[in-house]
Structure 1
Amino acid sequence: MSAGLVLLAVVAIATVGFFVGRKRSLAMVGGDVRQLHSLPSYYGQTVFLAAAVPALLVSFAWLLLQPLYVESQVSGMIDPAKLAETTSLDLVMADVRRISDGLDVAVVAGALTEPQIDALDAGATNVRAVLAEVGVAVASDIPQNVLAAAKEYRAITATLRVAMSVVVLALSVAGFLFALMRIRPEFRARNVSEAAVKALLILSSTVAILTTVGIIASLLFETAHFFRLYPAKDFFFNLTWNPQFTGGSDLGIAPLLWGTLYVSFVALIFAVPIGLLVAVYLSEYASKRVRSIVKPAVEILAGIPTIVYGLFALITVGPLLRDYFAQPLGLGTSSSSVMTAGLVMGIMLIPFVSSLSDDVINAVPQAMRDGSYGLGATRSETVKQVILPAALPGIVGAVLLAASRAIGETMIVVMGAGAAAKLSMNPFEAMTTITVKIVSQLTGDTEFASPETLVAFALGLSLFVVTLGLNVLALYIVRKYREQYE
């Protein structure tokens, strides 16, 4: 039985347990709910939880640990001494998993039977042809030991799958029966149910925290591996970015960091004033009819895919800036430039600034407006001297969100700014950003353990530190002015 069917069976048992538990609690008091400590639905929920939660936890843990156990058992069948110089054990194990999955697909499709799989011999049978018939491609000829490892991998996996089905279903039924036996009129079912909800909330919070910790830890470990292969001093202070996968690479972050900050700065210079003015107009000057039309129209910009913005930059904005500004001023001849990517990215960021700022401005108490008007201030004076200072913490948050979005953007930069890593003040020259190079270094047929690939993690960690610095700065500004105006 597959893992999906096992989980569905557990949910079905737990659902049945809910109705049975509810009915049993009512039957014990002859239908008089007043004699029960909790509502009948709480008794049903206790049965549901007992039947579902332990079984699901065991199944998830099993699914996480099973591949590790199977690979530890099968990897011993691959002799490292017989591996080619360009082949690692991880690549061979990937082929083993792919062949094992292909054999399963072949059985389901009817291309192979179990006796035929047992009799497969890489030297006498064209296994690649059989797997190709069911859509599983293997890049090279399959050695006999790899085929044997794949068959063993498949056999162990099938055995463990059956064992998991038996254990999980038995645990679910046992929880079902145990919870039914606990049902009594005086049983505090509501307390159990509320404790389970509280545990779920804590688990959700923990998952979010652990995800962040896991991301940071993965970046730190791989970055440390990179710095063991490439000097950290050269990475941070070298002014050249020239990865050469054959050796002699220059992997300085300075040109990429400069391009990232330059493009983001141009985007924010364009987006923040326009977005803030839009927010002020919509919240303080526009009528309800105009607001109902303009605000959704502006927010549509946030729903446009970034690839569309990239095409707009490549086809329209880039040639326009080149023909009417860069070439006449003698600043460049390329349509790919910092200005192209920055302007288009700024258009994309306008709704991030305007929508959030509009909500923050509307949250300013009406009493502050009325007090300003009562002292004789005009509407514009009220906006400048009362509303904007009071809403400044939220506006800073909106700008920070826009800045983070700009720093992490990739597609617009690829199509609008180019891929040239250079240090230049000319906004009409092609440049690139950290995110673009992270993608380029992790794609292609390159060895993962090489410095040219691991540098992507160092770039990611550096980008994380920059973003964290922006968050700390924004938090300082928010706290300073919040104390002043609240």
Structure 2
Amino acid sequence: MSAFWLLILVVALALVGFVLGRARAMSDAEGDVRRLHSLPKYYGTNVMLATIVPGLFVLVAWVIMQPIIIQGQVAAMIPATSFEDSGALNLIMSDVRRVADGLDVAVGQGALSLSETQTLAATDDVRGLLGSVGVAVGTDISADVLAAAQVYRSQSVTARWMMTALTLGVSLLGFFLALKGTSRNARARNKVESVMRTLLLAAASMAVLTTLGIVLSLIFNTIEFFKLYPATDFFFGTTWAPSFGGGSELGILPLFWGTFYISIIALLVAVPIGLFAAIYLSEYAGPKTRAFAKPLLEVLAGIPTIVYGLFALLTVGPMLVSLFGDGGLLGVDWMQGGRAVITAGLVMGIMLIPFVSSLSDDIINAVPQSMRDGSLGLGATPSETIKNVILPAALPGIVGAILLAASRAIGETMIVVLGAGAAAQLDMNPFEAMTTVTTRIVSQLTGDADFSSPEALVAFALGMTLFVITLGLNIIALVIVRKYREQYD
């Protein structure tokens, strides 16, 4: 049974447990709720949780561990003479999984029986069989790959049956034990609250462990990269020229220059517009205008970044070329193509406007009304009150909002891919194409690259460096905002 249908079955069993648990408690209390220790819903919830929690735990753990264990066992069957490094072994294992999936499709469509999957020996027959059921195999199937695929499929089928039996077994065991222990005197509410507290703690721990896992994976792969490539050349090199044939130059400075250049232009667009919009909405706009304009402005935050990228590529870029290009309206020849730093910066600035405006609006509204009243009572005009009282008081929070927007800009990818080009260079001209750290990470990990080579591992070094920078910006922003909140809470 597939994991999806097994999940549906466990959930259905849990719902049945809720109904029966509630009914059993009410029956034991002879229909009088006052004789129950807990509300009726707690008895049903207790049975439901006792059914679904152990089943889901086993199911999730099995789905995660099964491919790792089976792949490790099957990979040991591949002769060491068939591959040179771990990257080549990963490519062979991809063929093994593809052939095994093709055999599954063939069995499902009736083109092959279960017993025949273990007796196939001719690789040409396998290619023809997989082609007949619509499974394309791009490379030749060697005898080793076919044998490994047969074992992979056999172990996968056995593992699925074991997963089904174990998941249903623990779910049914929890179901019957909880139902048997249901009575009017059972402390169902205490049990439910204890389980929910444990689940909440597990959820919080999962978030922390996921962050820890991401950081550790970046650190370990970064260390592997610096074993193969000098750190001084990486951090201080001025040329970015990766080559999987060897002789790469992996200097990060051109990438960081493009990243910060585009981010600075974006902030020059977003900060004034966003801040002025926040001041208008909080200090000048009436209730009806604010109720209409604020949600409309925040719609910009919900637009996917790929849409912004297409907007930069198809609209903003050609428009800038028509102004600053050869034969443009301004009569200058500054811009050769639509993909440039200024294109990505302008569009990214539009994307960041709601980040700045919404956060700044909340911060300005948090300034005590007594400070406004005191300034106005002394004879200051509204504009003087904003300039001399409100903005100085809200400045720490506004700075925090700007830093959060900056970290968002540094991590942007799609707008840069479509709007700024792919040229890694140190140039002050905003009308030239440049690239950023995030786009190079995507580029280095795209395709069938050998992950043991510096050209692939450099993506983790780039990610680690970018992570440290954005983390620093976020920490500074949170410290500033916290200081502000302590002052005006």
Tell me which interval the TM-score lies in, with the shorter structure as reference length: over 0.9
Deviation of residue 467 (structure 1)? Answer: 0.5
CA contact (8 A) 1:393 1:477 kept: yes
Corresponding residue of 2:182: 183
Aligned match of 1:8: 8
Runs of 4+ with deviation above 6 angstroms: 84-87
**1:253 maps to amino acid:** I
Task: Tell me the CA shift for residue 73 of structure 1.
Answer: 2.9
Query: In the TM superposition, what is the alpha-carbon distance from 1:314 to its structure 2 partner?
Result: 3.1
1:287-313 alpha-carbon deviations (Å, 9 max, x no partner):
233333333332333333333333333
Match of 1:373 in 2: 376
For the 8 Å contact 1:122–1:143, the answer to whether it is kept is no
Distance of aligned partners of 1:50 and 1:106 in 2 relative to their CA distance in 1, 3 Å threshold: same
Q: What residue ranges of structure 1 are gaps of 5+ in the alignment?
A: none
**Deviation per residue, 1:349-404 (Å, 9 max, x gap):** 11221122223323334333333323332211222233323333442343233212
- Identity over the aligned pairs, expressed in percent? 60
CA distance in 2, matches of 1:384, 1:49: 57
**Alignment of 1:463 onto 2:466:** yes
CA distance in 1, matches of 2:338, 2:7: 54
1:475 aligns with 2:468: no
Compute the displacement of 1:225 (Å). Answer: 1.1
Q: Is the Cα–Cα contact under 8 Å of residues 400 and 476 in structure 2 kept in the other structure?
A: no
Q: Please, which of 404, 427, 434 is the counterpart of residue 401 of structure 1?
A: 404
Map of 1:216-295 to 2, 5 A cutoff?
A: 216-295=215-294
Provide the residue aligned with 1:42 in structure 2: 42
Distance 1:215 1:333, change over 3 A: same
Change (3 A) 1:104 1:424: same
Counterpart CA distance in 2 for 1:247 and 1:416 is: 30
Whether the aligned pair in 2 keeps the contact of 1:80 and 1:89 (CA below 8 Å) is no
Q: CA deviation at 1:85?
A: 8.0
- Correspondence 1:447 to 2:447: no
Task: Give the AA of the match of 1:233.
Answer: T
SS class of match (1:428): coil
Separation in structure 2 between the aligned mates of residue 69 and residue 476 of structure 1, nearest angstrom: 44
Describe the shift of the 1:299–1:116 C-alpha distance in structure 2 as closer, same or farther (beyond 3 A): same
One-letter identity of the residue aligned with 1:411: M
- 1:388 is matched with which residue? 391
Deviation (angstroms), 1:245: 1.9
Partner Cα distance (2:69, 2:204) in 1:
30
Equivalent-residue separation in structure 2 for 1:61 and 1:446 (angstroms): 30
Give the whole-Å Cα distance in 1 for the aligned partners of 2:150 and 2:233.
48
- The worse-fitting range, judged by mean Cα deviation, of 169-178 and 322-331 is 322-331
Corresponding residue for 1:28? 28
Shift of 1:59: 1.9
**Structure 1 residue 262: Cα displacement:** 0.9
More deviation, 79-88/64-73: 79-88
Q: Which moved more, 1:84-93 or 1:469-478?
A: 84-93
C-alpha distance in structure 1 between counterparts of 2:448 and 2:170, whole Å: 46
The whole-number CA distance in structure 2 between the counterparts of 1:83 and 1:450 is 15
Please report the TM-score for the alignment, with normalisation by the length of structure 2. 0.92
For 2:350, which of 340, 347, 350 is the aligned residue? 347
Q: 2 CA distance for matches of 1:449 and 1:391?
A: 50
Q: Residue 143 and residue 336 in structure 1: after superposition, are their counterparts in 2 closer, same or farther (change >3 A)?
A: closer
In structure 1, distance between residues paired with 2:121 and 2:269: 66
Letter in 2 for 1:291: R
Distance 1:136 1:477, change over 3 A: same
Q: What's the CA shift for 1:322?
A: 4.3
CA distance in structure 2 between the aligned counterparts of 1:161 and 1:323, rounded to whole angstroms: 61
Could you tell me which runs of 5 or more consecutive residues in structure 2 were left unpaired when the two chains were aligned.
Answer: none
Confirm or deny: 8 A CA contact 2:87 2:452 kept in the other structure: no
* One-letter amino acid of the structure 2 residue matched with residue 449 of structure 1: S
The TM-score normalised by the length of structure 1 is 0.93
Please say if 1:109 is aligned against 2:109: yes
